[in-house]
């Protein structure tokens, strides 16, 4: 019998499924250093509370698992005609980088079907994610200095669905 929460299966025990509440606490306690820095720059809440807020605001929200272990969360927070796209993960995402990169293009296409304009802000020191966003075709459209709680620098990024 197939798990109703599993939406996609890949090689090496990798699946994407609907997010479950225990995923949030598990991933929040193991976040990549850059993701934790980004959360702390935008919220006074503990990482699990800040991450839970993103999950609650998202429709949809998904968990990336490897052999049942949650290693990443991603979602879309709908706002009228646009969507705030986000992703947070553990260092274990790097262990599945080839599958992750290939699958992320497919998931981006799916999210663009839900909202044809996706955007968010990313901490300037989160260089790996900035590289990934550019690889996915996102554009950095502005630099926000003195942004967030601690007045740090963030970049605003956007991707608009190609209708051609």
What pLDDT score does 5 carry?
Answer: 86
What is the C-alpha separation between 161 and 164, in angstroms, rounded? 9
**Dihedral angle, C-alpha 34, 37, 39, 43, nearest 10 °:** -170
Q: How many CB atoms lie within 10 A of CB 3?
A: 10
What is the C-alpha separation between 133 and 138, in angstroms, rounded? 5
pTM of the full predicted structure? 0.93
> Average pLDDT for consecutive 10-residue bins of the chain (164 residues)?
78 95 96 94 91 96 97 97 96 95 96 97 94 97 91 96 74
């Amino acid at each position: 019998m197939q798990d109703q929460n599993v939406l996609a299966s890949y090689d090496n025990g990798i699946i994407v499924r609907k997010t479950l509440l225990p995923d949030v606490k598990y991933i929040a306690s193991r976040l990549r250093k850059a993701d934790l820095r980004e959360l702390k720059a935008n919220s006074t809440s503990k990482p699990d509370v800040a991450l839970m807020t993103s999950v609650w605001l998202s429709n949809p929200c998904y968990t990336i698992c490897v052999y049942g272990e949650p290693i990443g969360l991603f979602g879309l927070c709908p706002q009228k005609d646009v969507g705030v796209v986000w992703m947070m993960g553990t260092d274990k995402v790097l262990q599945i980088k080839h599958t992750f990169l290939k699958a992320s293009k497919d998931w981006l296409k799916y999210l663009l079907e839900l909202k044809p304009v996706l955007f968010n802000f990313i901490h300037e020191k989160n260089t790996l994610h900035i590289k990934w966003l550019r690889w996915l075709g996102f554009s950095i459209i502005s630099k926000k200095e003195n942004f967030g709680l601690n007045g740090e620098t963030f970049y605003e990024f956007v991707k608009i669905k190609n209708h051609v």
